[in-house]
């Protein structure tokens, strides 16, 4: 079963990579980009066949490894 995990910095946490991207876009002539938030997209292919069990397994992976839950939030999509 395919599981997609999106990990982003929480609102209010400074995003230096996002700011660097915003600055670079301005340098390249892309005007009007006010903010950029940069994150991670993680695609897991799990042997699990039950969608809720796959979601639970992915949530545990996020809590233990994939996301720093102090400064990051995550979303899980089971496909």
pTM across the whole model? 0.88
Q: Which pLDDT belongs to residue 68?
A: 97
What is the distance between the alpha carbons of residues 18 and 14, in angstroms, rounded to a whole number?
Answer: 9
Dmax (CA) of the chain? 47
DSSP state of 10: P
Is CATH 3.30.1280.10 what the domain over 2-78 is classified as, yes or no? Answer: yes
The share of the chain scoring above pLDDT 70, in percent, equals 100
Mean pLDDT taken over the chain? 97
Average pLDDT of span 40-63 = 98
pLDDT per residue over 1-33, tens digit each? 999 999 999 999 999 999 999 999 999 999 999
Contacts of 5 (CB under 8 A, 6+ apart): 40, 41, 42, 43, 44, 58, 61, 62, 66, 67, 74, 75, 76, 77
Supply the pLDDT for residue 30.
97
């Amino acid at each position: 079963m395919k599981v997609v995990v999106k990990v982003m910095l929480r609102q209010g946490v400074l995003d230096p990579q996002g700011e660097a991207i915003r600055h670079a876009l301005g340098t390249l002539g892309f005007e009007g980009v006010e903010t950029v938030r940069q994150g991670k997209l993680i695609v897991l292919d799990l042997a699990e066949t039950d969608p809720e069990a796959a979601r639970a397994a992915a949530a545990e992976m996020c809590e233990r490894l994939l996301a720093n839950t102090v400064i990051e939030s995550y979303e899980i999509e089971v496909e």
